[in-house]
Structure 1
Amino acid sequence: MDIAAGRMDERPGTSRLGIAGWMLFDWAAQPFFTVITTFIFAPYFVSRLTADPAQGQAVWGYTLTAAGIVIALLSPVLGAIADATGPRKPWIAFFAAVKIASLALLWYAAPGSSLIYAALLLALATVAAEFSIVFNDSTMTRLVSEREVGRISNIAWGLGYLGGMIVLIAVVVLVASDPQTGKTVLGLDPLFGLDPAKGEDARITGPISAIWYLIFILPMFFFTPDAIRATMTMAEAAARGLEELRGTLSELKERAGILRFLIARMIFQDGVNGLLALGGTFAAGMFGWQTMELGVYGIILNIVAIAGCLVASWLDPHLGSKKIVVASLVCLTIATLGIVSTGPGFTLFGLAPLPSTDSGGLFGTAAEKAYIAYGLLVGIAFGPVQASSRSYLARSVSPDEAGRYFGLYALSGRATSFLAPASVATVTLLTGSARIGMVALVAFLALGLVLLLRTPYPAHRPT
């Protein structure tokens, strides 16, 4: 499909302020994934909101499953409707309102309260966050040339990790306290007098993420150009959008490369999503990490992730998005094997025994240090694997069809997203072992990698 590459190079450039506004969307959105679904609130949900960590991990896994099914079913439909209506910003605004309200209400998820209440809010916030990403990602093809999409995608992703890390540092330094002393790492009382015994150190991350998102999403609305509004009603746009979606699905039969890319991405992204969502809860249950340890671990990973995205932003235009994604998947597969092979007193499934003595302080045992070492590999790779996948598709479609294809892209990231958390949750319940449950993630990453190796780049080229 030569038209895709040609049209991307011919479109007029966007102002630097417009591109900066688009990149700040990731800066605004990432704290939700950093402090809510990965390092702070999700581990709190699993290990402190309920007295049974195995039950908590199972409910968390099924929450992600339910949200994933909704996202998978509706993302391509909404993407196609957006192509028909034109502007993306009204859609982003609506889902931003849902996300902000859901996050703010997490403050009331106190220990001993209903798991269903917190799970419902988390599911709503997750669905709203992912739908917003569909519409924001689909504008990328209109902003810069084909060569530049990999660079701005990785820089934006790196900015997202920086934003997430800043919020995470604020939580760790100003809010999280040592259960023994009641003081933060700076030796201060927690900000606002928050009481860790009531889970307030974790619960506050909901309102903080909501406020951060509200403030920093505004530059995208003010400065980033939107598509021209189509001259049709919403009902007409919905009908046309659904018709175009059916046409796109039929069209995929002739665009085998894009179809293969979407299938490969569907499988490996499931593993990535599961690793990001469950890695922190796994560590919390295995080592008993509290908000402070989880926060410091998250800061370490985010520092490495920022560096990984910056390096990938330079390599992507030279090596191409496919090589970046392949290298990242290799790192993630190795890291996941390392993580699930590690427990108190051992790593590599017991082939490498480790001293069980605790030297005191943060991450005092050798097993915890090994876990962090594997986590560094995750940090290096989980930004580039997603950012360069985004630019992989952007190089393969034209701007006029970007909405529906990025809707399918979101579908490919969510169509089987319920399988990884559901597999982990179910195996965990059946075996009583979170470690055995986590092994399932390796299969998703490895199979997706194998399929991607046989996919053309860009994906519109003949297979």
Structure 2
Amino acid sequence: MKIRQKSREFIWGIYDFADTIFSMNVVSLYFPLLIVSDLGGKDIYVGLANSISQLLIVLTAPIFGIFSDRTGKRMPLFIISASLCAIGTLAIGFSAELGAILPVVIAFIFANYFYQLSLTFYNSLLPRVGPESRWGKISGLGTALGYVGSIVGMILVMPFNTGKIFGLNTFIPAGGRIATFTPTAILFAIFALPTLIYYLRDERRSKYPVDTVNRHPFKKIWETFSDTRRYPGIRRFIVSRFFFEEGVETAIVFMGVFAEKVMGMPDSAKIVFFVIATTAAVFGSIIWGKITDWLGPHQSLMLVLYGWIIGLIVLAIFPYRWLFYPIGCWIGIMLGGVWTTSRPYLLKIAPAENVGRYFGLYSLSGKAAAITGPLIWGTIILIFSGWNLFAAYRIAVATLAILIAIGTIILMPNKTLFEKHPIV
């Protein structure tokens, strides 16, 4: 393979490195703990903050996807979204200084909305990065770099919280969780720059397919839903993704809170857990990329979903610290597989000239799931915590397994569209 092609793929994947610094440090780790533990809020507040930001994505991502298809320009909105995500992350830390929950929640909604919106444009760049035969490997590379980024981000930001790195003193004074958001924003911005700059120049130099049909955006959204009947499997995949992403996205948001409330783990132990789980996800991403190119996206995604169901059921039945680490490794491998298999899955069954608006639906489906999933979790904890907090979290985890199982069942008939190695 030419060196230029390898560099092109690596530069695209660097944004996954950057965005998972945000998703790990803000979405999974410090924001939920800041609300629940430091500011005395409830799980439902975290759920509402995530749900509102995702609702905004549901309402707007398809419109932006249509706009990018119509103009052939993905990069200007990509750059704006990434920049505003970094600004919003800074605002979380500044607003937390006020000691009130509402300003922190508003800042998080702003940051998370633009983070999620940026992924719509990032995902739709994949056909520009390399040939279809390499989409699985490229997607796996991006996902692997993403989890490396989350490890690097956790380690580099850790001393701003505790003043230490894995127990070793540093020159950085301990500032608590409130001090983690500024360095997270800076790291995200720095590592996002290579992708944004390179593909902006690429878009200016190259001519990519555009959707020339001129219709009102809202009418086009409805037509996108209707058109899924013309492309076998898309509608089923979108609906399935809604259910399995309910489980996946909610686990990402609340795993840190689960570790603290059920396992009694301090932040230092949580970070060790996340580093172990994320390391497993790195290898899982690479492995699932190769499996996807071999078995095809459908068979690979089905295996990933089975793995998620098994892991969550075991965690719900045996929520013990000694088992939490190996289960974290298992779930990490499956987490690496979800996005590695999902992006090529849609690209395989969607028309190339309309990939932007179908990724808008892809985003809509996942974000709709991210609206309901955290609310389901928060409601379960709110209802059952008065009876038994330990049992409430076990019920919540079991519910995530059920949601993923529903998505798996819905997706099963799509196997007829992928004849290669029909083993699942």
Tell me, which stretches of 5 or more residues in structure 1 are unaligned? Answer: 1-12, 195-199, 344-366
Tell me, which stretches of 5 or more residues in structure 2 are unaligned? Answer: none
**Who is 2:112 aligned against?**
126
**Who is 1:391 aligned against?**
344
> How many Å apart are 1:404 and its aligned residue?
0.3
Alignment-mate amino acid for residue 193 of structure 1: P
Task: Map 1:129-208 to 2 at 5 A.
Answer: 129-172=115-158, 174-177=159-162, 184-189=165-170, 191-194=171-174, 200-208=175-183
Q: Deviations over 1:119-141 (max 9, x none)?
A: 11111111101110001111112
1-side partners of 2:14 and 2:368: how far apart? 27
**Equivalent of residue 223 in structure 1, options 192, 198, 208:** 198
**Who is 1:451 aligned against?**
410
More helix by share: 2
CA contact (8 A) 2:232 2:349 kept: no
1-side partners of 2:215 and 2:111: how far apart? 27
Task: Name the CA shift for 1:229/1:312 in 2 (closer, same or farther; >3 Å).
Answer: closer
**Who is 1:255 aligned against?**
231
1-side partners of 2:352 and 2:4: how far apart? 14
**Who is 2:22 aligned against?**
32
**Equivalent of residue 319 in structure 1, options 267, 272, 295:** 295
**Who is 1:284 aligned against?**
260
Which structure is larger by alpha-carbon Rg, 1 or 2? 1
> How many Å apart are 1:306 and its aligned residue?
0.4
> How many Å apart are 1:161 and its aligned residue?
0.3
Identity %: 23
1-side partners of 2:208 and 2:130: how far apart? 20
**Who is 1:421 aligned against?**
374
> How many Å apart are 1:256 and its aligned residue?
4.0
Task: Map 1:260-339 to 2 at 5 A.
Answer: 260-339=236-315
SS in 1 for 2:81: helix
Alignment-mate amino acid for residue 7 of structure 2: L
Runs of 4+ in 1 over 6 A off after TM superposition: 229-232
> How many residues align structurally?
408
CA contact (8 A) 1:109 1:117 kept: yes
SS in 2 for 1:252: helix
Return the TM-score normalized by structure 2: 0.89
CA contact (8 A) 1:107 1:206 kept: yes
Q: Deviations over 1:428-448 (max 9, x none)?
A: 111113413333212211101
Query: Alignment RMSD, CA only?
Result: 2.6
2-side partners of 1:368 and 1:230: how far apart? 52
CA contact (8 A) 2:309 2:404 kept: yes
CA contact (8 A) 1:151 1:314 kept: yes
Q: Deviations over 1:17-62 (max 9, x none)?
A: 3332211111111111111111333223222222xxxx42110011
- 1:378 and 2:331 equivalent? yes
- 1:409 and 2:362 equivalent? yes
> How many Å apart are 1:382 and its aligned residue?
0.5
SS in 2 for 1:40: helix
> How many Å apart are 1:72 and its aligned residue?
1.3
